[in-house]
Amino acid sequence: QVRLVESGGGLVQPGGSLNLSCVASEIILDYHAIGWLRQAPGKEREGVSFISGSDGRTSYANSVKNRFTVSRNKGENTVYLQMNGLKPEDTAIYFCAAQPGTWLPTSARQYDYWGLGTQVTVSS
C-alpha cells in the first residue's frame, strides 16, 4: 500500500527557511512523479514544486521560483522541499503526492496518492 509521510513543517518568521521531507513507501521514485502542493484556508489546493520519476526534471509554480527547491534521495525514498525566503502568503498545509508514470503532473487532480500534510505557518 502506497504511503507518503510529510514532516518538517512549523512556525517560521518571514524571510526564514524550512526543509520539508516526504518519505515514500511501496513506490519507486524512478517510476513516480512526486509533487508538493499546498492548501491555505479557504483556497483551493495548488501545485508548488514537482519532480519527475524518470529523469528528475523539476517544475515550479511562479510564486515560489528561485525560493523553493525540490530534490530527492532515491536511496532513502525521500523527496525534499527546501523553502527559503518564506513569506506570510506561503502559509498553508503542504502535501506530498505521487503519480506513477514518466510524465510530470502539475495539478492536484492529476495525482492519485497523497500524504496527510504538514502545516507551514509564516508569521512574525
Residue 88, pLDDT > 90, answer yes
Amino acid sitting at position 42: G
Position 102 scores a pLDDT of 85
Cβ atoms within 10 Å, residue 20:
24
In the sheet that 78-83 helps form, which strands lie side by side, from edge to edge? 3-7, 18-25, 78-83, 68-73
- Which helix (H) or strand (E) segment holds residue 10: the answer is strand 10-12
| Predicted confidence (pLDDT) per residue in 3-55, tens digit | 999 999 999 999 999 999 999 999 888 899 999 999 999 999 999 999 999 89
Q: Which of 116, 113, 117 is closest to 27 using CA atoms?
A: 113
- The average confidence (pLDDT) of the chain is 96
CB 2 within 8 A of CB 114: no
Position 103 scores a pLDDT of 87
Residue 118, pLDDT > 90, answer yes
